[in-house]
């Protein structure tokens, strides 16, 4: 293959499997090229990726050395994403009554969710997580994209135990969003004991659900090493969890005047 063809193929392979390490020998065998040529190809790939702003290549040496694609979102693109997110959420047509908003179209939009996932992949790239976890249902697409970008398994915590999950651990928790006691369960096979878990969710009001996830992960002697939520409500000010990262903040929902206040999180990084 010509160099331009090899570079194109390498970019396709690396970006389709973010954070997966490929040895130089893998590409040597694939293309029938010398390591010196592959090294030059990697530099060309990296230059192209940095130009587009979607990520970069990282290389390592030694027995575990190789190359991997690390997704990235620039500060400029993050600001544009937040502006678009605020514009989408502040549409009065989203009001459902009772201070609820319709957001399914946002969280089931593949292209938009990929952008939000890139924010969390950048934020938590060094958190040391072994798993990405979320509670069903609207947070699943976002958490799945974050898991894919970070090359980690995804764990879905259920509202109700399913027969297909086998033996489960269940807890009760108080949901501020619905103002009632709810239940969540997780399969005993979902995570290994003493694992580190990154929690990703679509929305947080008082932090009850996230607190419940933390508790159920603790039943496995697991540790929550990061919390990312796409939208965090400004009220109540005091949450049940202290450390979390949101993309935007949802403020007052004025149904009478048809106004929704949404602001970016300027301290996201």
Whether residue 64 is found in the same domain as residue 98 = no
Quote the Cα angle for 44-24-67, to 5°: 65
**Predicted confidence (pLDDT) at residue 1 exceeds the cutoff of 90:** no
User: CA 81: distance to chain centroid?
Assistant: 15
**Predicted confidence (pLDDT) at residue 172 exceeds the cutoff of 90:** no
Percent of the chain with pLDDT over 90: 80
Mean pLDDT of the chain: 92
User: CA 107: distance to chain centroid?
Assistant: 12
CA nearest neighbour of 184 among 206, 222, 203, 156: 156
Whether residue 229 contacts residue 203, with contact meaning beta carbons closer than 8 Å, is answered with: yes
Quickly state the pLDDT bin for 178 (edges 50, 70, 90).
low
Q: Does residue 269 lie in a domain region?
A: no
In whole angstroms, give the CA distance from residue 113 to residue 105: 10
Whether residue 226 contacts residue 242, with contact meaning beta carbons closer than 8 Å, is answered with: no
Range of the domain at 232: 75-264
Give the mean model confidence (pLDDT) for residues 245-267: 95
- In terms of phi and psi (left: phi > 0; alpha: psi -120 to 50; beta: otherwise), the region of 43 is alpha
Give the mean model confidence (pLDDT) for residues 207-234: 94
Quickly state the pLDDT bin for 136 (edges 50, 70, 90).
confident
34 vs 269, higher pLDDT:
34
CATH of the domain at 44: 1.10.10.10
Whether residue 93 is found in the same domain as residue 41 = no
Give the mean model confidence (pLDDT) for residues 97-119: 94
> How close are the terminal C-alpha atoms of the chain, in Å?
42
Residue ending a domain, choose from 71, 86, 101: 71
Q: Does residue 174 lie in a domain region?
A: yes
In whole angstroms, give the CA distance from residue 156 to residue 232: 20
Whether residue 107 is found in the same domain as residue 41 = no
Quickly state the pLDDT bin for 182 (edges 50, 70, 90).
confident
Give the lowest-confidence range in 152-166, 169-183, 194-208: 169-183
| pLDDT of res. 171 | 87
**Predicted confidence (pLDDT) at residue 237 exceeds the cutoff of 80:** yes
Q: Read off the tokens for 201.
A: 């969710």
Whether residue 134 is found in the same domain as residue 19 = no
Cα Rg of the chain, angstroms: 21
| pLDDT of res. 64 | 61
Phi, psi of 121 (to 5 degrees): -65, -40
| pLDDT of res. 62 | 67
Residue ending a domain, choose from 53, 71, 89: 71
Give the mean model confidence (pLDDT) for residues 195-203: 97
CATH of the domain at 220: 3.40.50.2020
| pLDDT of res. 220 | 93
Whether residue 200 contacts residue 134, with contact meaning beta carbons closer than 8 Å, is answered with: yes
Whether residue 82 is found in the same domain as residue 208 = yes
Q: Does residue 251 lie in a domain region?
A: yes
In whole angstroms, give the CA distance from residue 67 to residue 21: 5
Domain count, the chain: 2
Give the mean model confidence (pLDDT) for residues 200-213: 93
């Amino acid at each position: 293959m010509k160099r331009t063809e090899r570079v194109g193929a390498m970019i396709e392979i690396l970006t389709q499997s973010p954070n997966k390490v490929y040895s130089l020998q893998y590409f040597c065998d694939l293309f029938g090229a010398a390591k010196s040529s592959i090294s030059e190809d990697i530099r060309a790939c990296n230059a192209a990726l940095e130009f587009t702003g979607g990520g970069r290549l990282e290389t390592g040496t030694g027995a575990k050395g190789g190359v991997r694609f690390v997704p990235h979102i620039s500060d400029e693109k993050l600001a544009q994403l937040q502006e678009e997110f605020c514009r989408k959420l502040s549409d009065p047509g989203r009001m459902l009554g009772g201070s609820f908003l319709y957001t399914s179209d946002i969280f089931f939009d593949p292209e938009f969710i990929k952008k939000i996932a890139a924010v969390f992949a950048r934020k938590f790239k060094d958190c040391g997580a072994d798993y990405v976890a979320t509670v069903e249902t609207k947070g699943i697409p976002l958490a799945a994209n974050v898991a894919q970008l970070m090359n980690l398994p995804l764990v879905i915590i259920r509202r109700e135990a399913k027969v297909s999950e086998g033996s489960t651990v269940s807890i009760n928790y108080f949901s501020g969003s619905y103002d009632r006691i709810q239940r969540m369960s997780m399969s005993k096979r979902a995570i290994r004991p003493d694992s580190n878990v990154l929690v990703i969710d679509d929305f947080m009001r008082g932090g009850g659900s996230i607190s419940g996830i933390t508790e159920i992960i603790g039943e496995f002697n697991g540790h929550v090493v990061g919390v990312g939520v796409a939208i965090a409500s400004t009220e109540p000010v005091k949450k049940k969890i202290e450390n979390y990262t949101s993309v935007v903040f949802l403020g007052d929902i004025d149904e009478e005047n048809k106004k929704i206040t949404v602001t970016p999180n300027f301290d996201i990084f």
